[in-house]
Amino acid sequence: MHVHVLPSERKGRLVRTTIEIRDDLRGALLELAAKRGEKGFSRLVGEAIEAYLEAEHRREAQRRTALRTKGALSDDEAADLRRGVAEIRKVWR
């Protein structure tokens, strides 16, 4: 299937590419696009990619911030934090 991906109105031209998605996802995209009055779902795919990339950028910034705190806790504080995280992970999923 061919999709026009719009990276951003300010960043440049449309690029045609081929992606493979499951039939159920294609159907859901077409349904959503129709509700928005659009013929295809290229804009939806472009929006989803932009949202994903923005979220990845935020996660990377959070990782860098967390790494800058390395060594900021005492050994006891670090051990308490590890125990707390382990307890949270037990019930998280």
The model's pLDDT over 46-87, given as tens digits with 9 standing for 90+, comes to 999 999 999 999 999 999 998 988 888 899 999 999 999 999
5, with CB counted inside 10 A (0-12, 13-18, 19+), is middle
Amino acid (1-letter code) at residue 19: I
With left for phi above 0 and alpha for psi between -120 and 50, is residue 75 left, alpha or beta? alpha
**Lookup result for tokens 């690029």:** 15
pLDDT at residue 27 in the model = 96
What value does the mean pLDDT take over residues 33-52?
95
Averaged confidence pLDDT in the chain: 88
Please state, for a pLDDT cut of 90, what percent of the chain lies above it. 68
Is the per-residue pLDDT at 88 higher than 90?
Answer: yes
pLDDT at residue 43 in the model = 93
- Whether residue 36 contacts residue 45, with contact meaning beta carbons closer than 8 Å, is answered with no
Q: What is the CA radius of gyration of the chain?
A: 21
**Nearest of 37, 36, 46 to residue 15 by alpha carbon:** 46
The set of residues, in sequence order, having a beta carbon less than 8 Å from that of 16 and lying 6+ positions away, is 2, 3, 4
Rounded to two decimals, the pTM is 0.61
